[in-house]
Amino acid sequence: MTKPYGGSADGLTARQRRQRRIGKRSGYSKFKPLLVQMQEGLCGLCGRRLPEDMSRVEVDHIVRVRDGGTSAIDNLQAVHRSCNQRKG
C-alpha cells in the first residue's frame, strides 16, 4: 500500500529497503571491528581472512531472528559479503 503523496507504506526509501533486504542495517556496522577482533580476523562462515576494508565485511546472525535468534553480540558474526550471499 502506498501513501497518497507517493511514499511507501513502511516509510522507507528504496535504498533503505534494499539495505534491509541484503542485511546491511546500519545499526550493526558499529559491531564490525569488535566482531573481527573477537574472531581474530577470520570469516565466521568460511574461516578465511577478512578484508581490512570494513565496507566489504558484513554482520550475520548465527541463528536467524525469525528462527528465535537475537541481535545480541554473541549471536552475531563478521563474514565476507560473498559468504553471506551464498548463505542466503
CATH number, domain of 30, equals 3.40.1800.10
Which tens digit of pLDDT belongs to each residue from 25-64? 557 888 999 999 999 999 999 999 999 999 899 999 999 9
6 domain-assigned? no
User: Which residues constitute the domain of residue 58?
Assistant: 25-87
Say whether pLDDT at 4 is over 60.
Answer: no
Written as one letter, the residue type at 51 is P
Quote the pTM value: 0.69
Please count the structural domains in the chain.
1
Residue closest to 43 by CA, chosen among 58, 31, 30: 58
10, β-bridge pairs: none
pLDDT at residue number 72: 92
Rg (CA), the chain: 15
For 76, the 3-state DSSP assignment is strand
4 domain-assigned? no
pLDDT at residue number 13: 76
Which tens digit of pLDDT belongs to each residue from 5-29? 555 566 777 766 665 655 555 578 8
16 domain-assigned? no
